[in-house]
Amino acid sequence: MSESFLHATSRAKITSRSSTAMSDVDSLNPLARRVWTALIAAYPEWAELFGTCGTDDLEVAVPAPVGSNAGHLVVFTAKGKDLWIRFSPPSMSYSVDDETEMLDVIQQILAETALFAVVMRGEGWAGTTLIRRAEPTDVPQLGPNEVAHIVSRSGNYDQTIESGDANTGQVLV
C-alpha cells in the first residue's frame, strides 16, 4: 500500500464506546433502534461496543484484528435516515438500505468474502465500493493516475492496484 494511504490509515482512530451503556435504547431514533435490535440479536458479544452518535443515532465500533489496516468495523446511523458500514480509514464507507442488507454485508466482511476498495486519483478520493474476494472483474476500472486500495478486515487480503495493473487479470487472493 502507498505510504500516504497507510499514513492516513494509522491516524484514523475510533474510541470504543463501551463506557456509553446502551441501557436507554428508547432514546434512539426509530432507525437506530431497529439497527440495534438486529445487531444485538446477531452479535450479542458486541453489546459493550454499542454507543450513541449525536443525540439519538447508533454507532458500534468493532476492533479489527491486530495488525489490520481496517482499524474498526463501524456500523452507524446518520440523522435517523441513513445506515452505513465502514472501516476506520478515510473514505472507506458503504451505505446499506436496511437491516437485512446490513447483516448480509457484515457477515461477508467478517468472512472476508467482501473487501473494501477505495480508489484514489492522486491524493484525492475518487470512489469507494465493496468487491468480492477472488473476483478480478469486481476490481474497479481505474483511470490514469488512479490507485485502488483493497482492504480486508484481517489485512490478509490487502493490496494496492495501480491503473496499469487493473486490466492484467490479476486475481485477488
97 band by pLDDT with thresholds 50, 70 and 90: very high
Residue-level pLDDT at 122: 87
Reported pTM: 0.80
Please state, for a pLDDT cut of 70, what percent of the chain lies above it. 82
Residue-level pLDDT at 9: 34
Please state, for a pLDDT cut of 90, what percent of the chain lies above it. 57
Instruction: Let me know the angle formed at the C-alpha of 166 by 90 and 127, rounded to the nearest 5 degrees.
Output: 30
Q: Which residues contact 153 (CB under 8 A, 6 or more apart)?
A: 64, 65, 68, 70, 73, 87, 109, 110, 112
Give me the amino acid identity at 79: K
Please say if the pLDDT value at position 55 is more than 90: no
136-172 per-position pLDDT tens digit: 788 888 988 899 999 999 999 999 999 876 443 444 5
Q: What is the mean pLDDT of residues 25-30?
A: 84
Please say if the pLDDT value at position 112 is more than 50: yes
Residue-level pLDDT at 19: 36
Residue-level pLDDT at 23: 58
